[in-house]
C-alpha cells in the first residue's frame, strides 16, 4: 500500500488541477456501426515517437497497463494514466 505524501504542488497548480478535474468528461467518440476493430498494437505502430496515454496502475513501484494484451516495443514513449485514491 502506498504511503500518503504531503501535497507539494503550488497554489496555482492545485487550482488548475481542480479546474481540470471539474470539467465535464468528453462524450464517447461516434464510431460507425460498420467500423472494423483493430488491436491497440496496430494503432501504436503507426505513431512514431509520439507518446501514447494508456490506462494503467502502479503497484509496488511497477507501472503497467491495465490491458494485459497490450504489447509495447522497447523504448516506447507511453504515459500511464492512473486513478489516485
Range of the domain at 57: 39-85
Q: How far apart are CA 16 and CA 81, in angstroms?
A: 18
26 lies in a domain?
Answer: no
44 lies in a domain?
Answer: yes
Supply angle C-alpha 29, 34, 38, rounded to 5: 70
Q: What local confidence, expressed as pLDDT, does residue 83 receive?
A: 64
Cα–Cα distance list, 85 to 1, 32, 52 (Å):
11, 35, 23
- Which carries the bigger pLDDT value, residue 73 or residue 49? 73
Radius of gyration of the chain (CA): 17
Beta bridge partners, 65, equal 56
Residues in the chain: 85
Report the number of distinct structural domains present in the chain: 1
pLDDT over threshold 80, residue 72: no
5 lies in a domain?
Answer: no
Give per-residue pLDDT as tens, 1-13.
677 788 888 899 8
20 lies in a domain?
Answer: no
- Which carries the bigger pLDDT value, residue 74 or residue 50? 74
Amino acid at each position: 500500500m502506498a504511503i500518503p505524501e504531503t501535497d507539494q504542488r503550488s497554489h496555482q497548480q492545485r487550482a488548475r488541477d481542480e479546474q481540470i478535474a471539474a470539467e465535464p468528461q468528453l462524450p464517447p467518440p461516434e464510431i460507425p456501426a460498420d467500423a472494423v476493430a483493430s488491436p491497440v498494437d496496430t494503432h501504436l505502430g503507426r505513431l512514431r515517437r509520439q507518446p501514447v496515454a494508456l490506462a494503467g496502475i502502479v503497484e509496488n513501484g511497477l507501472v503497467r497497463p491495465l490491458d494485459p494484451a497490450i504489447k509495447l516495443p522497447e523504448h516506447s514513449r507511453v504515459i500511464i494514466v492512473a486513478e489516485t485514491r
